[in-house]
Amino acid sequence: MNDITLYGTTGCHLCELAEALVAPLVAQRPLRLHYVDIADSEPLMERYGVRIPVLRRGESELGWPFDAEQAAAFLDG
């Protein structure tokens, strides 16, 4: 099973939208979704602070905005 990470933070409405969009897509694949709150890490705040939500798979990232079709293609990649 492969891991997918969704970087975001509490109170971010775009992060909530991204999670709602991605969760059903992940459930249809042999993937495991991890939500990481960037507020818990200074390095993550520096890297993703103005870019969240961001999906990460291995070394590849997909930044917002993305739709279901783009997210599905990213997850299948």
Residue 25 binned pLDDT confidence (cut-offs 50, 70, 90) = very high
Instruction: Specify if 52 maps to a domain.
Output: yes
Q: Average pLDDT in the 6-28 region?
A: 97
E runs forming strands in the chain: 2-8, 31-37, 54-57, 60-63
| Residue 28 forms part of a structural domain | no
- Residue 54's domain comprises 2-11+33-76
Q: Report pTM.
A: 0.93
Number of structural domains (the chain) is: 1
Quick one: pLDDT at residue 77? 87
In a domain, 16, yes or no: no
* CATH number for the domain that contains residue 42: 3.40.30.10
The span from the CA of 52 to the CA of 45, in Å, is: 10
What local confidence, expressed as pLDDT, does residue 55 receive? 98
Kindly state the tokens that stand for 58: 């291995």
